[in-house]
Amino acid sequence: MERQRLTLEIIHVLHRKLVETSERDPKSDCIIFSGSTQNGYGMIRKSIDNERFRLYAHQVALLHNTNMTAIPDGLQCSHLCHIKLCVNVAHLSLESQSVNNNRNMCRNERKCSRDHANSDGSSLPDCIFD
């Protein structure tokens, strides 16, 4: 998806929309986004000052929580719970594509390999299964 000019103020506006369209699932502790979707992921669309913004809901949650305006190059916002509509920041992690792919193998096997680490060797959280 094309990078947009984002500021913390815009992230906060988008986050307000995310909060209005999300609800906690007491069984899984996921916070499920109920707005529009794209490829199974929550999508927030909003016009602000005549400019249209479109971001994945889980990225808005993570950016708002970390006070960032962009996902750093080379990293992705991964779902530890493997639920594409989840916006619970405790279920999200910034990590490389290879780690995200490794998590997909965990999802397919329905158990965590507990073998998630950044390229610098620092460990990442385990997958979350309900």
Q: Which pLDDT tens digit goes with each residue over 77-89?
A: 999 998 999 999 9
Q: How many domains in the chain?
A: 1
Residue 106 lies in a domain: no
Residue 104 lies in a domain: no
Average pLDDT, the chain: 87
Bridge partners (DSSP) listed for residue 44: 55
Helix axes 57-66, 8-20, angle to 10 degrees: 130
Residue 60 lies in a domain: yes
Residue 15 lies in a domain: yes
Q: How far apart are CA 70 and CA 108, in angstroms?
A: 29
Residue 89 lies in a domain: yes
Residue 24 identity (one-letter amino acid)? R
Residue 1 predicted with pLDDT over 50: no
Q: What is the pLDDT of residues 36-91, one digit of tens each?
A: 999 999 999 998 888 899 999 999 999 999 999 999 999 999 999 989 999 999 99
Q: How far apart are CA 20 and CA 29, in angstroms?
A: 17
pTM of the model as a whole:
0.84
Residue 2 lies in a domain: no
* First-to-last C-alpha distance (Å) of the chain: 30
Residue 47 lies in a domain: yes
Residue 12 lies in a domain: yes
pLDDT at position 109 is 79
Q: How far apart are CA 92 and CA 86, in angstroms?
A: 9
Which domain range does residue 57 map to? Answer: 8-75+83-94
